[in-house]
Structure formats: structure tokens, C-alpha cells
Amino acid sequence: MDCFKKIIKNEGFSRLYRGILPPILVEAPKRAIKFSANEQYSTLFKKIYGKDKMNQSLSIQAGISAGCTEAVVIVPFELVKIRLQDKGNAGKYNGTFDAITKIIKHEGPLALYNGLEATVWRHATWNGGYFGVIFSIRRSLPKAENKQQQLRNNFIAGAIGGTVGTILNTPFDVVKTRIQNDSGTVKKYNWTLPAVKIVAQEEGFGALYKGFVPKVLRLGPGGGILLVVFDQVTTWMKKYLL
């Protein structure tokens, strides 16, 4: 709340929506990739291990693999969003496409993939935790006897999965942001695990969880909503389109 108040007071309300275009462009494809890749990897791992049904181990492996796939697609969008939202870059970029142009011009086209390794870590841990926990929680909840109970179970499982995923991946998210926001020639942060070590040594372990509260408030319930919507939409598509 202090962050909200100071941003609005010092930079104006519109600053809260700085860098909104990249997330809008990538959000729907990102979620689609998350679930479709998880489904494909689930099928693949069942064949590899000779299993007829998924178990928690396979769910975690499929989730990690889906996270890696998702990360490759979204890195440029994440980098541009972070550059636009950083207060230190105020006045440097005049919007999304100007940021892309200047990054390519001054840093080269591969600069759009700065932080790829950190993004893979972030999404692999979140998806592994998310889908692994969903499998476990669904088995623990009372069996749904109607549509409302099914919606409830999906939301509870998804929300807990989103919360656990956020606990696991926040340190990687913190260092990813620092890696992608560094446009200098000599970079302080290059690789994920060394960057995690540097942050912990210089600022304390708690620094790796900066921004955790707003993130978990978004991705906890968001994980529940994701699972509910995915289940409802796929059920509808199988009934009417496939």
C-alpha cells in the first residue's frame, strides 16, 4: 500500500499502467502454452515411464517442462515490460515499440533474450510446483458430486498450487528482473544461481522475497481462476467443437 501511494503521489496514477501492452499481448498465449504444453508433456512422460495414469512425480516433471517451453516464448515481452516499468528508465522509452527499437539498436537483437535462463528457472519452478500441488490437492479433496463442487475443488487446488509455485519461484523472479533491467556493458548479474547468491550475501535472504505479497495475492487466486477457466473451456470445447 505504501508503494501504491508513493507511485501515485510522485509519478501519477497512469504510472501504475506503464508497460501494460506487453503483458496484454502475451498473457493469453502464455496461459494457453502453459496448459497445452503440460497436457502434451503429461502424455509424453506417461509413455516414457510406461504409466497409464499421472502421478505426482509425473505431474511435477510435466509442469517443469511446460514452464521451460513457456519461458522461451515470453522472454522478450517480459524484458520490454520490465524496462518500461523501471523508474530509472523514465523518459528513455516512449512506449513499447520504441523500447523494442532502442533495445535492438543499442544492445542488439539478442538482448531481447537477456534473462532467458532466469526466466526458465522462474517458470519451471512455478509450473512444477503448481501442477504438482494441483495433483496432490485434487486427490485430497472430497470427490465432487456436482458442477459447483467441481468448480470449488478446482479453485482450491489451483489457488494452493499458485501460492506454492509463487513461494518457490519468487527468488528467481527477483534476479530475473535485475538481469533483464541491466542494460550496461559490464553487468553485475549474468546467471541466475550466482545472482541469487549475490543478492542474499549483499542484501540478506529476505531481499530474494521482495514483492512477494502483491505477487502471491495475484498468483494465488489467479492460479485458482486459471484452473477453473481451463477446465470449463476445455469441457465446452470437447462438447461442442471436437
- The grid cell for 36 is 497445452
Print the domain residue range for 86.
1-210
Q: Give the number of domains in the chain.
A: 1
| Contact present, 41 and 127 (Cβ < 8 Å) | no
pLDDT in tens, 51-105: 989 999 999 999 999 999 999 888 888 888 888 877 776 678 777 888 888 889 8
* In-domain check, residue 216: no
Q: How many whole angstroms from its chain centre is CA 123?
A: 5
- Residue 28: Cβ within 10 Å count: 9
* In-domain check, residue 49: yes
DSSP 104-122: HHHH-GGGGGTTHHHHHHH
pLDDT in tens, 143-179: 888 888 999 999 999 999 999 999 999 999 999 888 8
What is the domain-level CATH number for residue 139? 1.50.40.10
- The grid cell for 117 is 535462463
